[in-house]
Structure 1
């Protein structure tokens, strides 16, 4: 064994993304579960360093697995207040007790502490101001409402 100690990561809040979404579109049952997608139609980005909007046209691809876990793969673009564009790839999971997930699916208010909603986020941009994001990973801690996904984005440093 080596005597090298690996540090625990630290994080820094970047922004809150509130992505407005259209209703879920189901492609039906596949061999792996129900395949579906959610159109991302706009939204806001708010943070001390990064504020702007979610560009309409993104998609959250989902697989509702037999074990109750929703496998998430969202791909969309955010624009900062100066017009710089940043591509977001967000992969993760949402799951919880069946009764909580049923309430969530029905559009009822559900506290984010009642279920698990986490994503690993990667960025791509050509904007000089945000180019450092191209080499960082972020963790998204999410909540879902009837018309939006709310993601608090924390950079892993």
Structure 2
């Protein structure tokens, strides 16, 4: 059996605006950080809207600096649909690069690895395709936001 080659379709650019990080400290699982999500935008041909305040990234950081990403937040489309977004992924790189990222310096996304899978859910029938599609993204962190291009696996 021949399986098809993997292809992706770009859906939107997502910008998630962040409040300052809360550091809970070292836990048995690793360093726990919570990054509040306070707004943002989704800008694409098939999906456009704004990120609502109230979500967060519940990060777990290992001794080597690798951050496990675990976000949950809500968007409202330009035509009034509510969409739940959840990302799971990994951010890692050389220690000196990760220090610059955490300090809020401008760091090129090619200097570190930041990839996530994204699950989207909605009860709005106009966007039911979101519920049955697998999404991935290549992300970048700035001082007060995370940006990623959301891709659907075709």
Tell me the TM-score normalised to structure 1 length.
Answer: 0.95
Q: Deviations over 1:60-111 (max 9, x none)?
A: 1100111221000000111111011110111000111111111111111000
Q: Distance in 1 between matches of 2:25 and 2:17?
A: 23
Of 112, 123, 126, which aligns to 1:126?
123
Q: Distance in 1 between matches of 2:74 and 2:6?
A: 26
Corresponding residue SS for 2:6: coil
Can you give the 5+ residue segments of structure 1 that lack an aligned partner in the other structure? none
Can you give the 5+ residue segments of structure 2 that lack an aligned partner in the other structure? none
Tell me the TM-score normalised to structure 2 length.
Answer: 0.97
Pairs within 5 Å for 1:96-115: 96-115=93-112
Q: Deviations over 1:9-40 (max 9, x none)?
A: 21100111101100110111012210111000
Of 26, 40, 52, which aligns to 2:37?
40
Q: Distance in 2 between matches of 1:11 and 1:129?
A: 22
Q: Distance in 1 between matches of 2:6 and 2:119?
A: 16
For 2:84, the equivalent position in structure 1 comes to 87
Q: When the two structures are aligned, how many residues end up with a matched partner?
A: 154
Q: Distance in 2 between matches of 1:35 and 1:106?
A: 17
Deviating above 4 A after TM superposition, structure 1's stretches of 4 or more consecutive aligned residues are none
